[in-house]
Amino acid sequence: MKYKLHILTAMLAPAILIGACVLGVNTDTETEPTQGEAAAVSEAQGDETAAPAAKEDLEYEEIIQEDEGLYGEHGFTEQPGDYWIPIVLPDISEAEQKEKYCTMTTQESMDYFTEKVEEAVQLSDELEAYILDWHYNDADPLIPQGLLPPSIDNQKTHAWRLLRPEEINPEDQWYYIPARQEPAVDGFSTLYQFNAATHVTYLKSIFIAPFGSQLLVEGDFPYARFMDYQITEPFTPQFPVSSNAGVIEIPIVDVDIQPDAGHVNPFLVGADRNAQDRHYHLTFDLAYGNPVELNPVMQDNHFRAPGNTRVGGPFSSTGSRGDGTIVPSLLWLRYYAPDLGADGQVDPLAGVPLPKVILQLKTGETFWIQPTLPWQS
């Protein structure tokens, strides 16, 4: 599967921050890059010129021990960052970033963007070819070593395995920081994951897919005060993603989601908050392009738009901070202020099953690619 890409530059184009420095570039919103056409980008161009550590590590371990049945089950490690940040960036210093990226001319920066797009297209094409071989010819479901770059297949997310829809277990697709009942009142040294919002369950799912695929989500509206999804932006090297620093995410808010026919969205004004039939389906198109122009929701001052479809990315480019490596995408789900359970305690999953996530190729084949996460090794 091949795609078209056009990247435009202009003398007065807005500056795009890619980590250590600023490059002057601009993009249009075409969503279909090809290796051959991406190479034409540079022809028309002229040549111009850490968070503080916690005070007491022991308190983190004590929280884990107190809630061993809940926290331990979902893979929390002795090092919080090892659990919650799923990507591995190469070891490149800020000085090295500046030397490599901040001295680029406009032509060199455009050549760099072209190179990164070509790498993404090649990865997408090879991954799609293997998925089809697995789907129709019973190729090994374990993605072969070397097909995925080390920035995707590494100690945090490795042994990526293809699954058919009936094999998918949502318990394996999500990992999360669960909401807790007590407020954080004793200072930031006691905050689990340095997070003051102890009343929120943060869930996320890690995925990769070819360009043109869709991420399909099926779930039930939670018994909670608020929920929303956020997906990593469409792939574009001009707006890089590096860990949790400066990430553009595309949202869909609870009240804007259309429920399935015959079901209720309990977040709508006047709706039955305790309705039993509360099912929904969401679609995330996975594409290349400018995240704002591809998503009307990003053009609204309140980041609101109706409809159950958004446009995200099948993977991400890390820019200078990650030395241009490609990393997996993320789908976030947040439950704010979940209801109390029958035992009077906060139910972190808000009284509903975990949503099921499925990937679908442009040609209709459905699947999931499940990585082995650190606590599953």
Provide the pLDDT for residue 180.
72
Residue 103 within a domain: no
**Which pLDDT score, from 0 to 100, does residue 62 have?**
44
Least confident range of 218-227, 268-277, 313-322, 324-333: 313-322
Evaluate whether residue 365 is within a structural domain.
yes
Residue 23 has pLDDT above 70, yes or no: no
Residue 10 covered by a domain: no
Quick one: average pLDDT of 285-309? 90
Instruction: Compute the distance between CA of residue 244 and CA of residue 255 in angstroms, rounded to an integer.
Output: 26
Averaged confidence pLDDT in the chain:
78
Domain around 290 = 57-91+120-376
pLDDT at 366 over 80: yes
144 within some domain? yes
Count of residues for the chain?
377
Q: Give a yes or no: residue 284 inside a domain.
A: yes
Q: For 218-265, give the DSSP string.
A: EEE--SEEEEEEEEEPPB-TTS--BTTBS--EEEEEGGGPPBPTT---
Q: Pairing state of beta strands 309-312 and 279-286?
A: parallel
CA atoms within 13 A on the CB side of 271: 20
Q: How far apart are CA 182 and CA 111, in angstroms?
A: 52
Each residue's pLDDT tens digit, 221-238: 999 999 999 999 999 988
Q: Determine contact, residues 294/29, Cβ cutoff 8 Å.
A: yes
Instruction: Report the distance separating Cα 19 and Cα 368, nearest Å.
Output: 32
For residue 212 the two structure tokens come to 């043109």
- Identify the residue with better confidence: 87 or 339: 339
- Whether residue 5 is contained in a domain is answered as no
- Both tokens of 219, joined, read 């779930």
Q: Give the DSSP per-residue string, 7-42.
A: ----TTPPEEE-SSSEEE----------HHHHGGGG
Report yes or no on 264 lying in a domain. Answer: yes
Q: Which of 57-71, 113-127, 313-327, 336-350 has the lowest mean pLDDT?
A: 57-71
> Could you tell me if residue 33 is inside a domain?
no
Q: How many folded domains does the chain comprise?
A: 1
pLDDT at residue 78 is higher than 60: no
* Higher pLDDT pick, 369 / 377: 369
